[in-house]
Each structure stands twice: as structure tokens, then as C-alpha cells.
Amino acid sequence: MKGPVRPEGRRVFGARVAELRVRRGLTQRELADAIGRTASWLSQVERGVQPVNRLDVLHMLADGLGVPLHELRPDAPPSDQADESAPEPNDLDRARLLISGHPAPGTLLDSGSPYEGPSFAELRSAVDDAWSLAHGDRFAELSALLSSLIPHVERAARAVEERDRAEVYGLLARAYQALSAAFVRQNEPDAAWVAADRSIAAAERSGHVMGVFAGTFRLAHAFVRLKRYDQAEHTALSAANALGAYAARTEAPLPEVLSLLGSFQLALALVHARTGNRADARRETANARRTAGLLREDRNDHNLEFGPTNVEVQAVSIAVDLGDAGEALDISERLDASGLSAERQARLALDVGRAHAQLRHVEEALTCFLGAERLSPEMVRTHVAARAAIRDLMLIVGRTASPELRALARRADAMS
């Protein structure tokens, strides 16, 4: 595409969207729901008020209207890429098989046998290792570890003495949470949903209530990746309301309660940003900032990395999702994320790169994407929005793309 569309071009494009929508027999509400946007956003698009310049949003609109991209926007590049929604082999395929079916069928046929396997100390250490691998985006190693670890813990939960089961179920909940987080980042949201659901069940059996909320947080993010924004909002809002009420009647809420509350507030901000609800996205970001202020430090309760720094990292991402690239860059300039995991630092670099791409700052965006790749090579390849931004950069520069940008686009499978 050849840059931002002028007002008259927006009106022509909007009329085209309306024509295709009516031809398909859809109301504005029905089409908006199908593409994960609000009816008011779609109304503004059709009236020529709201520009649609991002290629990923154009693809989403075309899919919702059931037409090829070039029929919706004739000056868009040909859509000769493979279907990105089709499943591709990835480093978590082994773990995906792991969560298929009942988690421990053999144990059901051998009830009453004593547990024979790694010690509790070894299981605890392995779960900690799993989270280190998840935060480092080392998915092949994570998949190998959990494919061995989870069957051991599932058997232990059913075979150990009653007095030890709470601890084992707690370990199982944490293992499934790590798996769910990894599935989300590898764009396997249906598997993330299953893993999150199992983590919630295990946490409840452990008696650790906050572990239930930690699993629910992973579930909310699975719904976001599935673009089931109504389910994501319901899940996150229900949890945030419960935690907020609990914290209000507690004289000194535990840090883990505040970490979970703030994380759900950020999840809500993300949902609102993805659906174009600017006011609510900003409100929930402000709520998360206030919650982080109560903590006064960066923490890692339930592997959430919640705290003042992470709130601002997420604020950058939310600003980019809302199309507020300048605001995103302003926030990022005040940030020192060096104390966060490599995964969070890489995510910040990607989002800053996306902001530069929105402003057509090609060299700055490339520098950010390369920095993110150094921190987490897998993330650039699996992060849908980052791949779309790299593809847009290639469209902006066309034949003048530098060798570095071309090489990055090939590695990210983002060649136009």
C-alpha cells in the first residue's frame, strides 16, 4: 500500500466496506463481532472517519466480509502467502500431544500402587526450570521438560498420601500455567485454553486460592489470542472484581493479591485496546498503575512479573494497539526494563518497533526488531503483530529494502 489514505480515499473505502457488508447480509454489529471490533468502530470506518491502514486489520476485515483482500482494497499487495491461521509445526507440538486425552490413564488402571518417581524437591526444581524456559522463550526445551515432568506430577497427584496431595496439585497447577503461557506465545490458543483449564482445576484441589486466579489469568490470555474478546473480558473482569473486593476488605492485602489484581486490570486494558475501546483501555491502564503503586516494586508473584515497570511495558503495547505510536514512544523513553525477563524486554522492543513502523520510521523500527530478535529469536517469528509490522515495513520501502530488513523478513516469514 502507498501510505496513509486521504479523507476522500477513506470515504470511498468506507463505502466499499458498507457495500460488501450489505451484500453479505450482515449488520454492523454482526460484522464487528466477527472481526473482534466494536460496532461504533465499524460505523466510523464506513463513514470514512476511521482510517484503516494496517495490513493485518485489512486482512481481518476482508476475512469477515468473505472477500479477497484485493477486492476490498485494490491497491493492497497480492495475498499469495500461505494461510497464517493454518497450524504449522512448532516447538510445542510434543507438549500439545501431552494434553490430548486424559492426563494419566495408566494410573487409573493401577490405583492403590505407591508413587515411584522423582522426589518432591526434584519436581519443585523442575517446575521452576519450566518457568525459566517459558520466560526465555526456549520452547523446544520447555516442551521436552514438561512432556516428562507433567506425567510424573499427574501420577504423583493420584498416588501420594493424602497429606501430600495439596503440594503436588500446586506443582501441577504451576506446570500447566507455564505450558499455557508458552502456548499463547506460540500462537496455539486452543491448547493454551486446555492447559489453563487444567491449571485451574489443579490449583483448586491444592487449596491455594490465588493459584486458581493465576490459572484464570492464563485463560483470559488464551481467549485474547483466540479473539474471543467477550470471553476474555468476562473472565478478567469477574476475577478483577473478586480480587478488588477482597483487597478492599483486607487491611493489608498480600503482594500476590495485588499482583494478580493488577495483571487482570492490564488484561482488561488489552481487551479494550484490541476492540478499539480507547476510553476503557486507558481507564484500566490507570487502574493497573494505581495497583502497582501500592506494591512499590517489581515482583514476580505467580510468574506475572507485575509491578510499576511491567505496567509501563504493557502501556506501550496498549498504546500501539490503539494506534497511538507517539505516546508509545514517549512512554518507552522513560522505561528501564533491564530488570525484567528476556521475554518482557523482547516484547517491549517489538512494541517500540511497531510504533516506529506506524510512523514509517523504517531504520528505527528495524533496529528495535533486530534487538528483540537478539533477546528472543522465537518471538519475532511467532508474534503475529510483529510479523505484520515487518511485512508493512517491506511494503513501505519496496525495492529499496536494505539487506538487513530483507533478511529479517525472511527469518520472520514476513516477506510480502
For the chain, the domains span 7-72, 102-226, 227-319, 341-416
Query: 159-190: b or e for each residue (b if 16 or more CB lie within 10 Å)?
Result: bbeeeebebbbbbbbbbbbbbbbbbbbbbbbe
d(CA 386, CA 357): 10
Q: Contact 156/107 with Cβ under 8 angstroms? A: no
Q: Tell me the pLDDT tens digit for each residue of 59-83.
A: 888 888 988 888 888 876 554 444 4
Q: Phi, psi (5° rounding) for residue 8?
A: -65, -35
pLDDT at 212 over 60: yes
Of the candidates 314, 244, 310, 333, which has an alpha carbon nearest to the alpha carbon of residue 273? Answer: 314
DSSP state of 87: -
Which residues, 6 or more positions from 319, have their beta carbon under 8 angstroms from its beta carbon?
325, 327, 328, 331, 355
The alpha carbons of the chain give a radius of gyration, in whole angstroms, of 22
Percent of the chain residues past pLDDT 90, beyond the cut: 55
Helix, strand or coil, per DSSP, at residue 74: coil
Q: Tell me the pLDDT tens digit for each residue of 12-58.
A: 888 999 999 998 889 988 888 777 676 767 887 888 877 777 777 78
Q: Tell me the pLDDT tens digit for each residue of 236-287.
A: 999 999 999 999 999 889 999 999 999 999 999 999 999 999 999 999 999 9
Q: How far is CA 134 from CA 282, 342, 379, in A?
A: 29, 10, 12
Give the architecture-level CATH label for domain 7-72.
Orthogonal Bundle (1.10)
**Residue count (the chain):** 416
d(CA 167, CA 118): 14
Cβ atoms within 10 A of the Cβ of 154, count?
Answer: 23
Q: Tell me the pLDDT tens digit for each residue of 329-341.
A: 999 999 999 999 9
